[in-house]
Structure formats: structure tokens, C-alpha cells
Structure 1
Amino acid sequence: MKTIFNLATILFLAFSLQSCNLLSAAGVSSQGQPTKEVQSELTSTTANSAVNVEHSQWDKLLKKHVDSEGMVDYKGFKKDEAKLDEYLNMLSEKKPTDDWSVQELLAYYINLYNAATVKLIVENYPVKSIKDIDGAWTKGRVAVGDKMLSLGGIENGILRKMNEPRIHFTINCASISCPKLLDEAYTAAKINEQLDRATKEFINSDKNDISPQTPQVSSIFDWYQKDFKVNGKQDVIGFINRYANTKINSEASLSYKSYNWELNEQN
């Protein structure tokens, strides 16, 4: 009987650990990472944080290997893989805490996600799509201190919990239909302006076909529709209209464009 009890205990613990890992990968858990919420209008500043992270190394790599359309020279990144590793190692050693400002945290996790995604492609290059890589978003592959975070965990367990829907247009999933990879690093000193730029550029790009009556928009607005709020209430059309050059009638029905998961690689 004791043997059966011990075996049952071991199986329960094993299942619990596996469940925790799956929940973290799916984004239910932040794995102990700080997730401060943007409480009001976000301002760009470095003055309210215990730490100011230096992202110049990532900035140089982006300027070198990403064009104005957000297309990526992965062959070039592969040649500079050692520098990419240096940057990711630096981020890993920083170990974010609640003493960091919301501006620093946003810039840190956005850059971490994007740099780790480029690293994932470089490790598996040549590859036609990130979806061809096993566990691209669910495997713990991004080191932060003694934790191994998944890309899905960074997006859903950390960034989406920060009450800043513009993050959806800053993180790049290495695919044609994704918001473009910005050719500069995000920083606390410019974070609000950068979030605005990324959102406006995406909404007014060919990723959406916006018209007053028959708008066809990115599937991002379908997958994450509960994140897009106006005055505290879910309002996808209202959110889009804040940034769109062409306004959608509030009574219009949205349809969604199919997503192109081909690699966002420069020709």
C-alpha cells in the first residue's frame, strides 16, 4: 500500500510540474516576472526607475539587418550571432524587479521577445516559417536570471498583463503578416512615441484594408480583441479609429484577413 501511495504521489507531482510548465508556456503564468500595469497615459521617461537598461547593442544590430519595411536579413544576423548572444546574455543577467518602471519593463520585454525570436530563426535557418519550428512559442528558451521563459509566456503572461494594447504592434513573430520589426531598439526614453509609431504604421499598412463600411483587418484584432479597449470597454473599431487615417463606421462588421506565416526575410 505504501508503495502504491508513493507512486501516486510521484505521478501527481510530475503531472503538477508538467501542468505548471504548460500554463507558463501558454501565458497563464508570468513565472515570477514583474507585470506592472500602465495606469494612465503612458509617458516616456527614464527618471522613475531603479534601473535604466542599455539597449544600444540591439539597436545597432537592428539598424544593420532590418530595412525600413521591417524585412530582416537573417543571413546577416547569423554572421553577427555572437553579438546577438551577447545582448541576450546581458538581458538575462538584468533580472527585472518591481523596482523597475513600467517604461523600462515594456522596453525590456519587447526587445527580449524580438531578439529571442530572431535568435530562434537564426538557430533554425534556413527555414520557411517560424511555424515549422517545434514549440516555437511554447518551449522555454529565453533565459531571464534562472528562469527559462517561452515566447508565448513573454507575450501572454507578461506583456499582455501590462494593460498596454499597443504592445501587439511592437512584437514581431518573424512572419509577413506580423507587425514589422522596428529598425531601432525600444527604450524607456522613447517608449510612448515608439508604441504610437508602431501602432499607426501597422493599422495604416497593407496588413489591413480599412474602409468605412467593409473593413478587413488583421487577425490580430480577432485573436486579441478583448485587449483593445476604449474608455475601459472592449471596442476594436474604436481603438482602430484612434490611429487609422480612414475611419470605420461604428456599426460596421469587421472581417479578418488570412495570416501569412512565411518568413519576413529580405530578398
Structure 2
Amino acid sequence: MTSDTTQPELADLVAIVTGGASGIGAAIAERLASKGAQVAVFDLNPDAADPKHFAVPVDVSDDASVRAGVAAVAERFGRIDIVINNAGIGAQGTIEANGDEEWHRVYDINVLGLVRVSRAALPWLRQSPAAAIVNTCSIAATAGLPERALYSATKGAVLSLSQAMAADHLREGIRVNTVNPGTADTPWVQRLLGSAADPAAERAALEARQPHGRLVSADEVAAAVAYLASPLAGSTTGTSIAVDGGMQGLRLRPIA
């Protein structure tokens, strides 16, 4: 698809952002809208979404809910071009910390949730001249983090699944990529800090393990997502962008 430089790069395109009412999802929705997209937000709490977006109550762990949400977007806009699978939940602990029920619950949202949304949107994406799926993954998929066994397992699955999806759908004109944030300044991380015995020390530790020395911002993640979703990234598929202050690849010497 060629780009008309007189229009915003996402003009006329329709995007779904799951988990788009808060945190990274809200930042993604705002960034896509600023580039001209019509944005539909899927969220358990759609009333919290920016009123300028088309907010739909969707539970990504429920296939009927997902299909109804996708149908509502298609009816409203007549097309779907971009799917941002951002909805997810966290989990703490080693493999001993969570029973089978919690493992199934987190996988059902973090992995099968993106499957359900992408699967329901595929018929519309196949009709788009600029189809793109971007899945929010994590540094946890590429680095071993303590006390994150379950969460890391789901994000490792997201990374591998995204590559398989990219291979399956490339010749249908659908690009699939991931963004791998480091520890981001999100409501979930704020709740995590709030439950720590020493929130200030915990925040300092999280900042220090990222080479640039701070938490990642939601806007920084949104910028990477917007690039991958854009027709300007038409030759980029099956890849991931680490937005982690260098945590994935850099090994800096300690400050003397």
C-alpha cells in the first residue's frame, strides 16, 4: 500500500485495541487515533475509555463476547484493518506458587485471548489493503525474570505464536509483529509496588535492572506499536521490537 503524504498515515483505517481503556492500551489507542485511525476499544470496563473511541464491553476469555465485539466494530465502521492484542494479566511466583486453575486462567487471557480476537477479525483483515496485527508481548519472553514463571510462559507463547501467525497470514496480506516492553509504568506495576514491603526500594530495583535506569513509559510502547501497525512498515512482519531500555540485549558494566 502506498502512502498519501497529505493525509495522516492511518487515515481511513479502523483499529481494535484490546485492553484499551487504561495503561499501555489507552496510550496505544490515543497514538493510533492521533495518526488518523478510527479506534475501537475492547475492555471489561469500556466506560473508562476515552469517549472519542468506540468502546465495546468485551471479555477476551469469552469467545462469544469477542465475536460480538468484532461484529459491532464491523457494523459500525464497515471494515477492520488493525488489531492490537494488548489485553493481558500479570502473575507472580515460581512454578510452585500457582495451581492448575491459575495457570489455565492466565493462559486463557494472555494467549487464547489474542487467538480469539485475531481469529474473529481475520475475515475482515483479509479484505484490508493494510492489514496488521500487533501483539503486546514482554521482556519476560526473552529474559529469565525471578518470580515470573507463569507470566513468562504465557509471553513466550505469545512470541512464538506471533511468528507462526506471521508465516500463516503473510500471503493473505496480513502482517503480524510483537512489541516487547520492559517493566513499564502502568497501573499493574503501581499495584505491584503498592504491595511491596518497601515500595521505594522495589521501584528503585525495577528501574536499576533496565540499562537506561528507569521504567518504560506507556507512550514509548505505544509509539512502537503504532510503527508496526502502520502501512509505512509494510515490509516488517514476523519480528519483535524490544522497548526495554536495553534490557534484552545490553550488558553494561556497573557504575564505579
TM-score (norm 1): 0.28
Higher strand share: 2
State the structure with bigger RCO (CA 8 A, min sep 6), 1 or 2. Answer: 1
> Which structure has the greater CA radius of gyration?
1
